[in-house]
Amino acid sequence: MGPDGYYAQSRMSTTGGGPLLDPLEPPHGPSPRSLGAAVAKEWLPTSIAELSNRFSGATDWSAIEQILQAVPQPKKIAVRDVGQASFASFVDVAQQSYLHFDTGLPVSWNAHTAPKSMDITFANEQVVVLSHWDWDHLHAAFSIKQLLDAKWIVPSQKLGPGAARLALAIARKGNLFVWPAGKTFTGTHISLAECMGSPKNSNNTGLVLRATLQSGRDALLSGDADYSNIPVSLKTSADYLLVTHHGAAMMVGSTPIDPASNLGFAAVSYGAGNSYRHPHLLTELSHARAGWYPWRATARLYTIPRSNRYFT
């Protein structure tokens, strides 16, 4: 991680830092004094709905079904150590990653929580399922080409400038697939649905994913959605749980799902010393009362070093 918050990419692993430039725009040299009319500023969408109006096929449900039906059953799921962010990957028997649930890296003021490097071996075909359009859930796509070139399945939400640039770049490649309201996908080893929260809250209106691993164990990946807003069809007990919202405080009355067995665990993705003071103690206690104790952090915790955590 460089001092300005961006990774530099070398083959399959991030190895150093670079200046804070927009990788989705051409590089700029010294700016000469203008002698004519100003160049028009590039159009950026303020929402996925606005973007979809310009790109036909973005909300094609049959295309989304086809993508998800072709996703192989994972050997394991890597909950990646990305500091104060979220990034989980389906991994096959050859240790290649091919589907990612979020592709986050920390925002600039939490850059100190990021790992020094990331090692990811990519399969030929890549799919990204984005839980919601927050920076700490999508930032890695700005510096890792395999992610930028992936097929993206995304919720229809409002966009900030950075998210808008990413969405526009993906749409121009023909790789943006917008989740239609009210739809649920149920396959042999993947279920995917939209959360049921207030439209004003992107955390609680994003996508949530449930997967069955080759071991037969189930995992729930919740993004930042409060458990109370996850559709009932996906909220049954599971062997593995990716704790919601980096372990942040939950809504009053909200409770985690129950563990299906004592074979798995709950993983929580956060960066030590983050500005939000995640995870929240009461959230950890709520998970412990539900049977998820102890949870396993991607951050260093006491004598346990920071690392990826694996659902197997």
Question: What residue ranges do the domains of the chain occupy?
Answer: 44-311
State residue 163's pLDDT score. Answer: 97
Q: Please identify every stretch of the chain with a pLDDT value under 50, giving residue numbers as ranges.
A: 1-36
State residue 186's pLDDT score. Answer: 98
Amino acid present at 278: H
Query: Which of 290, 278, 207, 280 minimizes the C-alpha distance to 241?
Result: 290
State residue 38's pLDDT score. Answer: 53
State the pTM of this model: 0.88
Report the alpha-carbon distance of residue 147 to residue 150 in Å, rounded.
Answer: 5
CB 13 within 8 A of CB 119: yes
CATH number of 44-311: 3.60.15
Buried/exposed code over 5-39 (b: 16+ C-beta within 10 A; e: otherwise): bbbebeeeebeebbeeeebbeeeeeeeeeeeeeee
State residue 230's pLDDT score. Answer: 97
Is the bond into 161 cis (omega within 30 degrees of 0)?
no
CB 188 within 8 A of CB 222: no
State residue 40's pLDDT score. Answer: 64
CB 240 within 8 A of CB 217: yes
